[in-house]
Amino acid sequence: MNRPYFNGLVAAFSVSLSLAAHAQEKFVYLTNWFAQAEHGGFYQALAQGLYKKAGLDVTLRMGGPQVNGLQLLAAGQADCYMGYDVQTMKVHEQGVRAVTVAAAFQKDPEVMIGHPEVFKKMEDLKGKTILISSDANTNFWPWLRSVYGLSDAQVRPYTFNVQPFIADKNTVQQGYLSSEPYAIEKQAKFKPTALLMADHGWPPYSTTIVCMEDTVKKRPKAVAAFVKASMEGWKSYLKGDPSAANALIKKDNPNMTDDLIAHGIKMMNETGLVAGGDAAKMGIGIMTEERLKKTYDTMVSLKLLDPAKVDFKRTYTLEFVKNLKVMP
């Protein structure tokens, strides 16, 4: 074979291979917990090839109780993180420039759970023993205490075991919408009252997409592509066939069961976590400055945030969601 011709073929082949490799931009999204239905939209986007179609080679990296996601994000171990407004704003006090770019959940799924005969409304928290985790002290507890006139003397530590709650009808505990109420019903054979704090004025968005300010500035096309494909994934997961995503969820988290996934999807649809609120009119993933400011002001008023150290405008951008219009 003619040597120059052969060399030319090899060079052309190498170029085409390198172009193919560059066609898909690598993108790592770190979740905030073990894989579950509440992460389903992201898994659906992966399973259905929505990220690939958008030019991204996405890895969903699973979080967990020992994983400090924002720390890993700041260290460059992920491109974006599954965040929560309270934490994202708080890290700005340490100079970590994390920016919320979209919100998959219009509501925080955190609930207060009680025995149905004695706990029907938030006002019924008065006089009860309240089980909360240590994290709640820098999160929803100061808000709950302030709004409903509660006392720290009512608080006992929640150890993520529902038995103390089941054993005492005058005990109320925190929980995650699709998790603890379901576990209690299975174990104790009664349906507890579960009240979403978001339905009573607790303002943060949840299951957000948070990226470092540098990533937003240097890779806006990749961030935009990830946001759009993710929200299309959420629409498909809740309204279409979720089985492909569920298979990936169970692969990442072998402890996850079909009935728990089905319950999670049911609760997300019933409570409008993804498609309710502003998302119903403005599209999945939407955020508003007014709502974000409400969270910021709430945190400042409860002394959970130092306004001298946190520039509100640097904690978020609406650029990636304002014209997204992924209607539910």
Domain ranges of the chain: 24-107+204-314, 110-200
Q: Quick one: pLDDT at residue 65?
A: 87
Q: Quick one: pLDDT at residue 16?
A: 39
SS3 state at 233 = helix
> For all residues of the chain together, what is the average pLDDT?
94
Cβ partners under 8 Å of residue 155, min gap 6: 130, 131, 132, 141
Cα-Cα-Cα-Cα dihedral of 207, 212, 218, 219, to 10°?
Answer: -20
Fold of 110-200: D-Maltodextrin-Binding Protein; domain 2 (3.40.190)
CA nearest 145: which of 157, 132, 158? 132
SS3 state at 153 = helix
Q: Quick one: pLDDT at residue 17?
A: 41
Q: With both helix axes pointing from N to C terminus, report the angle between 40-47 and 243-252 in degrees, rounded to the nearest 10.
A: 110
Q: Quick one: pLDDT at residue 22?
A: 55
49: left (phi over 0), alpha (psi -120 to 50) or beta: left
Contact call for residues 145 and 152 (beta carbons, < 8 A) = yes
Contact call for residues 196 and 271 (beta carbons, < 8 A) = yes
Contact call for residues 209 and 157 (beta carbons, < 8 A) = no
Percent of the chain with pLDDT over 90: 92
In tens, the pLDDT along 201-218 reads 999 999 999 999 999 999
Is 24-107+204-314 a CATH 3.30.460.10 domain? no
Q: What is the DSSP string of 90-123?
A: HGGGGT--EEEEEEEESS--EEEEE-TTT-SSGG
SS3 state at 307 = coil
Q: Which residue stretches of the chain are H helix?
A: 3-23, 40-47, 50-53, 69-74, 85-90, 141-148, 163-167, 180-188, 213-218, 220-239, 243-252, 258-271, 279-282, 289-301
Q: Quick one: pLDDT at residue 9?
A: 43
**Residues of the chain whose pLDDT is less than 70?**
1-22
How far is the C-alpha of 160 from the C-alpha of 132, rounded, in Å? Answer: 9
In tens, the pLDDT along 31-56 reads 999 999 999 999 999 999 999 999 99
How far is the C-alpha of 328 from the C-alpha of 274, rounded, in Å? Answer: 9
Q: What is the DSSP string of 248-264?
A: HHHHH-TT--HHHHHHH
Helix, strand, coil percent values for the chain (each to nearest 5):
50, 15, 35
Domains 24-107+204-314 and 110-200 fall in the same CATH topology: yes
Q: Which H helix or E strand runs over 3?
A: helix 3-23
The CB density around residue 285, as the number of other CB atoms within 10 Å, is: 30
Cα-Cα-Cα-Cα dihedral of 176, 177, 183, 186, to 10°?
Answer: 170
CA angle 224, 230, 232 (to 5 degrees): 105
The CB density around residue 202, as the number of other CB atoms within 10 Å, is: 20
The CB density around residue 163, as the number of other CB atoms within 10 Å, is: 11
Token pair listed for 99: 């920016």
Query: How far is residue 273 CA from its own chain's centroid?
Result: 11
